[in-house]
Amino acid sequence: MSGERPSPAGGAARTLARLLAGALLLAGCTRSSQATVGRGTEVVVFVDFSGSVKSDARALFATDLENQILPSLVAGDRLLVAAINDKTLSDFRPLVEATLPRKPEFNGWLDNVMKYNRETKDVDAEVVRVKQTVKTEIRQVLTRHEASPLTDIFSSLLVAQKLFHDEPRRKVLVLMSDMIEDYPPYHFEEIKWSPAMRQKILADLDGNGLIPKLSGVCVYVSGVSGGSAALVENIGSFWQAYFKRAEADMDLSRYAHVLLHWPPPKSCRAQ
């Protein structure tokens, strides 16, 4: 009957349903807010300290690190800078290494807003402090590090594979080098380049376990140079094929004399 009053049980059920709906909505917002914290980015930079790279080129590397790479890092990111030399594999040690603290996650059910805001400000201040320390360290190591007689890029890439192994952050590799390998038995400036020779070298490297697995890694190269345009083009074609075999994301637009298209777009191995 239309004049009947709703039963207490029915009213309670409707109230419970509204509360559950609100809880689900809030839970969805909480998950969304936590997702915005993100997993961060791991940036590994290998700097060429061989004799073929002059001090003015390394000064440009320092400028790119200070003015492009470092400012792009945010809370939760990690930076590691290492040397490309003739002892990369046998005596590896980072020149600069820093992890920026993560911002706290916010749970609307449990967290105090004022406490969350205070912790966020503390993290922001620590990020600024760490970045300033890293900037000073970069200047020191790039001006004082001793030059190496040989360039062993292949070993550096094997080390990169180990550094990125099981890394939950987004992975970005930056090679600051002329990309002229000259560690025996490979002397890129002396090779008579051809498509057949390129494939032969790749097959040899593959057979000797010198092509790493870099799946999910976004690759940048800056500092590319050479004695002639033909040499630069041939070496560039080799590295393009090399990184394809390594399953890395290395677009030719990111292989240049200077660091281009930084920071990495989300489409660059954002998986």
CATH code, 113: 3.40.50
Q: Are residues 32 and 49 in the same domain?
A: no
Residues 129 and 28 in one domain: no
User: Among 181, 189, 186, which Cα is nearest to 152's?
Assistant: 181
Number of domains in the chain: 2
Residues 32 and 60 grouped into a single domain:
no
- Do both 177 and 239 map to the same domain? yes
pLDDT of amino acid 109: 64
Q: Quick one: which of 153, 173, 176 has its CA closest to 222?
A: 176
Contacts of 191 (CB under 8 A, 6+ apart): 197, 201
The pLDDT tens digits along the chain (271 residues) read: 444 545 555 555 454 445 444 444 444 444 333 333 467 999 999 999 987 787 788 889 999 999 999 999 999 999 999 999 888 888 899 999 999 999 877 666 666 777 777 878 888 999 999 999 999 999 999 887 777 888 899 999 999 999 999 999 999 999 999 999 999 999 999 999 999 999 999 999 999 999 999 999 999 999 999 999 999 999 999 999 999 999 999 999 999 999 999 999 888 865 4
Counting every residue written for the chain, the total comes to 271
Residues 102 and 225 in one domain: yes
Query: Do both 15 and 101 map to the same domain?
Result: no
Given its phi and psi angles, is residue 263 left (phi above 0), alpha (psi -120 to 50 degrees) or beta? beta
Tokens standing for 200?
A: 């032969």
pLDDT of 234 reads 98
pLDDT, residue 89, reads: 81
Three-state DSSP state, 16 = helix
32 and 71 share a domain?
no
- pLDDT of 104 reads 78
Domain for residue 168, yes or no?
yes
Query: Quick check: is 265 in a domain?
Result: no
Do both 91 and 177 map to the same domain? yes
Residue-wise burial string across 222-257, b where 16 or more C-beta atoms lie within 10 A, e elsewhere: bbbbbeeeebbebbbebbeebbeebebbbeeebbee
Same domain, 142 and 15: no
Same domain, 71 and 11: no
Place of tokens 């890694």: 217
Q: Which of 263, 184, 189, 202 is nearest to 238 (CA)?
A: 202
CB within 8 A of 44, min separation 6: which ones? 80, 82, 160, 163, 164, 171, 172, 173, 174
- Buried residues in 132-161 as b, exposed as e (16+ CB within 10 A): eebbeebeebbeeeeebebbbbbbbbbbbb
In a domain, 190, yes or no: yes
In a domain, 264, yes or no: no
Residue 189 placed within a domain: yes
pLDDT score of 146? 75
Domain assignment present for residue 187? The answer is yes
User: Rounded to an integer, what distance in angstroms lies between the CA atom of residue 130 and that of residue 110?
Assistant: 30
Same domain, 170 and 59: yes
Domain that residue 23 falls in:
1-36
CB-based contact 184:122 (threshold 8 Å): no
